[in-house]
Amino acid sequence: MLVWERPEPQERPAPVPLSRERIVRAAIRLADADGLDAVSLRKVATELDVRPMRLYSYIDSKDELLDLMVDAAYAEIRPTGDTWREVLRSLAESTRHTVHEHEWFADLLGGRPQLGPHALACGESVVAALDGVGLDAVMPAVGAVNAYVIGAVRREIAGQRAERATGMDEKRWQAELGPYLRRQFATGRFPALSTVVRDAAHLDADETFRIGLECLLDGIEARISR
Amino acid sequence: MLVWERPEPQERPAPVPLSRERIVRAAIRLADADGLDAVSLRKVATELDVRPMRLYSYIDSKDELLDLMVDAAYAEIRPTGDTWREVLRSLAESTRHTVHEHEWFADLLGGRPQLGPHALACGESVVAALDGVGLDAVMPAVGAVNAYVIGAVRREIAGQRAERATGMDEKRWQAELGPYLRRQFATGRFPALSTVVRDAAHLDADETFRIGLECLLDGIEARISR
DNA sequence: TATGAGTCGATACACTGTATCGCCTCGATG
DNA sequence: CATCGAGGCGATACAGTGTATCGACTCATA
């Protein structure tokens, strides 16, 4: 059959150049905009103008995509400082800062072991800065700070979301959830709790985080210099 | 039409008595056995010999079911002790113990604000035991301990799962993931990290958790008695 | 007995992650 | 140069998800 009679091979969209980096960036865009639930392989593929299964040439499963996202976030964590204390504080603040820019990071933190190159590099720079500290004290110290940070930012983000869910601003939050707590407290079943909530100073998120962190660092200091 | 001619109303399965408690117990059974992913409204319904939509008379969404599960887990957390330090330590250990019995609890911890009756009761008993502590110091202290615990148990569970995933026992874990880390370290990009991992004492999970916790408690003590 | 309100849950929908497998391409071989 | 074979890409299909919708059925009332 002559060329003229043969139909053209079906017109294919020009193959979009792809890479793990492009995929991860697309996924992060989606997650930043609409939360982790908005990240589906189909949506990521659409974002890249590609068919979904194409992604499986670059990753084996969605979990691996999430791992890549997490490692990309670790690339933004840059602990600095001259003393071990400054470095650990910086690690904590920097992680928290990254979570504020990528809320989904809080959902993933601590969910799987973080062994990507950027996570390792982050650990390396922290550990390197702790070389004045006794060898056996390094991991417990770093581990404790990381644990604290993970828990603290998760709760902070959870709180933010709850506020947002009840109506976007703090006034509505107090109007929706405040009454629930007030009713609970009114039952008299939580006297100590209600006293504290009513009478204690209400710290903002920055202070709360910082106080807990400094406590932990104080404790670490005591243990190190012992 | 006479009864004899009329067909019986279609035989319905005897209506299974239902309650939030039965639903939550079924969900927890599933989650304990096969992880949080195994909890779907359909599976819970099947477990109870009920059609899925029936559950929506008792809960408004799956998230609410998860909230109920979390609160049920809080019912198992019973902090005790005579001093504020004992109580906070007990809170931490007890939470960790509950996570060991219900791994899925670690996935949920810190993900949403915990305002169920058992969570509040847990908070109440802790706060009540801290009445010797200055009013403004209570929340930061409890918050810091909670944050630490959340992060610590999440990472612990994540590690356990990674081990299990690579082949069920610690030998295989070292055979699978060890080599990856060894290769990474062999690149020379993580000198400090590799030194610590190679030469430092390897603590088990119990000790790691306890050390971080005692550090934090030491720091809190310093702050309280100041 | 006829009618209305109200509830219950089967069905349906839109979406998920990913296994499968047909097709298409391209390189090696007769 | 024709034929065959292997290999990979990605469309299709599948088994599952959470939950909105709405028809059917029940029961109290007129």
Residue B188 DSSP symbol: T
Average pLDDT, chain A: 89
pLDDT score, position A182: 87
Q: pLDDT, tens digit, for every residue of A36-69?
A: 999 999 999 999 999 999 999 999 999 999 999 9
Is residue A17's pLDDT more than 80? no
Q: Tens digits of per-residue pLDDT, B42-98?
A: 999 999 999 999 999 999 999 999 999 999 999 999 999 999 999 999 999 999 999
Q: What is the pLDDT of residue B162?
A: 87
Q: What is the dihedral of CA B93, B98, B103, B106, to 10 degrees?
A: -60
Residue A162 has pLDDT above 90, yes or no: no
Per-residue pLDDT at B174: 58
How many other CB atoms are there within 10 angstroms of residue B95's CB atom? 25
Report the alpha-carbon angle B60-B62-B67, nearest 5: 90
- pLDDT tens, A112-159? 999 999 999 999 999 999 988 888 999 999 999 999 999 999 999 999
For chains A and B, what is the number of CB pairs under 8 angstroms? 212
Of A179 and A75, the structure prediction assigns the larger pLDDT to: A75
B185's CB contacts (< 8 A; 6+ apart) are B193, B194, B197, B198
CA distances, A213 to each of A10, A54, A92, A103 (Å) = 61, 44, 8, 20
pLDDT of B106? 98
0.85 exceeded by the pTM?
yes
Output the pLDDT for position B179.
Answer: 76
Burial of B33 from C-beta contacts in 10 A (0-12 / 13-18 / 19+):
exposed
- pLDDT, average across residues B4-15: 49
More confident residue, A8 or A173: A173
CA distance B115 to B109: 12
The predicted structure's pLDDT at residue B122: 97
Please report how the helices A117-129 and A62-74 are oriented relative to each other, as an axis angle in degrees rounded to 10.
Answer: 30
The residue assigned the tokens 């569970």 is B157
Contacts of B203 in chain A (CB under 8 A): 139-140
3-state per-residue secondary structure call for chain A: CCCCCCCCCCCCCCCCCCCHHHHHHHHHHHHHHHCHHHCCHHHHHHHCCCCHHHHHHCCCCHHHHHHHHHHHHHCCCCCCCCCHHHHHHHHHHHHHHHHHHCHHHHHHCCCCCCCCHHHHHHHHHHHHHCCCCCHHHHHHHHHHHHHHHHHHHHHHHHHHHHHHHHHCCHHHHHHHHHHHHHHHHHCCCCHHHHHHHHHCCCCCHHHHHHHHHHHHHHHHHHHHCC
Using alpha carbons, list the distances in angstroms from residue B95 to A149, A200, A201, B70, B92.
Answer: 18, 25, 27, 12, 5
Domains defined for chain A, CATH in brackets: 20-59 (1.10.10.60), 78-224 (1.10.357.10)
**Subunit contact A159:B222, Cβ cutoff 8 A:** no
Q: Name which of A55, A65, A60 is nearest A19 in CA terms.
A: A55
Tokens at A68, concatenated:
């890549």
Burial class (CB in 10 A: 0-12, 13-18, 19+), B215: buried
Three-class DSSP category at B101? helix
CA of A10 to C1' of C25 (A): 14
Nucleotides of C under 7 A from a protein CB: 8-11, 15-20, 24-25
Task: Give B24 to chain A, closest Cα distance, Å.
Answer: 22
pLDDT of the residue at B10? 46
| Spatial separation of the C-alpha atoms in residues A154 and B21, rounded to whole Å | 28
Does residue A72 or residue A131 have the better pLDDT? Answer: A72
Quote the pLDDT of residue B8. 47
To the nearest whole Å, the CA of B143 is away from the closest chain A CA by: 8
- Range with lowest mean pLDDT among A156-160, B5-9, B15-19, B112-116: B5-9
Q: What is the pLDDT of residues B28-57, one digit of tens each?
A: 999 999 999 999 999 999 999 999 999 999
Identify the pLDDT of residue A207.
96
Query: pLDDT grade, residue B15 (50/70/90)?
Result: low
Q: Mutation test of the interface with chain B: which of A124, A183, A225, choosing the one with the most B Cβ atoms within 10 A?
A: A124
| DSSP-based three-state secondary structure for B160 | helix
Taking the CA of residue A27 and the C1' sugar atom of nucleotide D4, their distance in angstroms comes to: 43
Between B199 and B91, whose confidence is greater? B91
Q: What is the CA radius of gyration of chain A?
A: 24
CB-CB under 8 Å, B120 with A193:
yes
- The pLDDT score that the predictor gives to residue A225 is 82
CA B92 and chain centroid, separation: 12
Query: Percent of chain A, pLDDT > 70?
Result: 87
Shortest alpha-carbon distance between residue A152 and chain B (Å):
5
Q: Which nucleotide has the least CA–C1' distance to B10?
A: D25
- Find all residues with CB under 8 Å of A207, minimum gap 6, and list them: none
Test B154 with A215 for CB contact under 8 angstroms.
no
A199 vs A220, more confident: A220
The confidence score (pLDDT) of residue A9 equals 47
Name the helix (H) or strand (E) containing B143: helix B135-167
> Taking CA atoms, what residue in A is nearest to B144?
A212
In A, minimum Cα distance to B132 occurs at A192
pLDDT(B121) > 90: yes
- A214/B219 Cβ within 8 A: yes
pLDDT band at residue A180 using 50, 70 and 90 as cut-offs: confident
Query: Would you state the pLDDT for residue A177?
Result: 63
Nearest-Cα distance to chain A for B129, in Å, is 9
* Ranges A163-172, A210-219, B126-135, most confident: A210-219
Q: Which residues of A touch B140 (CB under 8 A)?
A: 203, 208, 211-212, 215
**A-chain residues near B113 (CB < 8 A):** 155, 158-159, 162
- Tell me which residue in A113, A128, A216 faces B144 most closely, judged by beta carbons: A216
Measured CA B59 to C1' C7 distance, in angstroms:
16
DSSP letter assigned to residue B59: -
Q: Contact at 8 Å (CB) between B20 and B58?
A: yes
Nearest CB neighbour to B111, from listed A158, A216, A222: A158
**pLDDT average, residue stretch B198-209:** 91
- The mean of the pLDDT values for chain B is 89
Region of B12 please: left (phi>0), alpha (psi -120 to 50) or beta: beta
State whether the Cα torsion B182-B183-B188-B193 is positive or negative: negative
The nearest alpha carbon in chain B to A159 belongs to B113
pLDDT band at B175 (very low <50, low <70, confident <90, very high): low
